[in-house]
Structure 1
Amino acid sequence: MYLSLDLIDKTESLNAEDLALIEKMLHHAAQAEGIDLGSELSVTFVNNEEIQQINNDYRGKNVPTDVISFAMEELGEGEMAIEIEGAPRMLGDIIISVERAKEQAADYGHSEERELGFLAIHGFLHLLGYDHMEVADEKEMTEKQEAILQSFGLRREQDEKH
């Protein structure tokens, strides 16, 4: 496979097909983004309570969110990048609330698989440095997400009806 992925379902609520879909989608996204073969990342699936604690601890926001990414290549002020020749590229960690994904799927009127896939791609793009704090950046990230989801074939059900 393209990436070295560690998928951890702490909720024990996802089935093998859900995890396989996320894995295939992330491999697809890595190829689409030209990521080095063998690059590493982890995806952990949690409940709202756990992601709320993480959100509070790391972002000072005491509310559950849908996805949080921790990029290994994002440097703080004064930090230097450490690169070891021959070592795999460490992209970082993505944490997804399965509860929030299910809530949002119902709110948006599409499948839970589509929402989980969207959140995985959204988190993956954050690991690569994409952001949505400014309007232009949000537009670029949104277009990139949709292009990856469309090329993978995971579309919103309402898109399929048109």
Structure 2
Amino acid sequence: MSLRLEWNNEQDKMDIPEAWIARLEQLLQLAGEAEGLTDGEVALTFVDDAEIRRLNREYRNIDRPTDVLSFAMREESDGEPGIIFGDGGPEPEEFPEMLGDIIISIERAKEQSEQYGHSLEREIGFLFVHGFLHLIGYDHQDEASEAVMMEKQEAVLRKAGLPR
């Protein structure tokens, strides 16, 4: 098995080049390797600001667009179970564990890439790795956890040739 990326494009502001998808698949493998995670599936959806604002309002009660949202399938800190295979069900190795969903606003990513003075590909990569780390349990609620998360993100991006 391996880490798998399933993606969709639900926005019409910009075409998604195949090279970006190849880069995101590379980033998924590198981030997984760095975390000792070799199996699982991540669903990625590209949306516009209106859709990410709707999702942000619905799931976080924040009525404004954001750059990335992550929805983890396993919430171990809350004691919620993940996907469980019962008797007679499929074998776990037949279906990779769904780690969760990452939603990226193309409009917000483009705006941020211009603001930070780097490529849109780098910004999309950053948001994707950020979302992935959230899926596997990282957060940035305080300065210490934010520093850990930022270093992990930057290490993966440097390894992929997408430094700041």
Q: TM class, shorter-chain normalised?
A: 0.7 to 0.9
- Give me the whole-angstrom Cα distance separating, in 1, the residues matched to 2:82 and 2:2: 24
Q: CA RMSD in A?
A: 1.8
Amino acid at match of 2:70: S
Q: 2:71–2:100: 8 Å Cα contact kept in structure 1?
A: yes
Which stretch has the larger CA shift, 82-91 or 142-151?
Answer: 82-91
1:100-145 Cα offsets, whole Å, 9 max, x none, are 0000000000000000000000000000100001111101101111
Helix, strand or coil at the partner of 2:92: coil
Q: 1:24 aligns with which of 6, 23, 26?
A: 26
48-57 or 27-36: bigger deviation: 27-36
Answer whether contact 2:4 2:25 (CA < 8 A) is retained: no
Matched, 1:151 2:156: no
Q: TM-score by structure 2 length?
A: 0.87
* CA deviation string 1:14-70 (max 9, x = no partner): 111122211221122112211133x11100000000000000000000100000000
Q: For the residues of structure 1 that align with 2:121 and 2:82, how far apart are their CA atoms?
A: 36
- 3-state secondary structure, aligned to 1:125: helix
Residues 1-162 of structure 1: matches in 2 within 5 Å?
Answer: 2-12=2-12, 13-37=15-39, 39-75=40-76, 77=78, 79-84=80-85, 86-87=92-93, 88-156=96-164
- Report deviation, 1:89: 2.1
Matched pairs, number: 155
**Identical-pair percentage:** 51
One-letter identity of the residue aligned with 1:66: D
Question: Which stretch of the first structure deviates more once superposed, 118-127 or 2-11?
Answer: 2-11
Q: Is the 8 A contact 1:2 1:31 kept in 2?
A: no
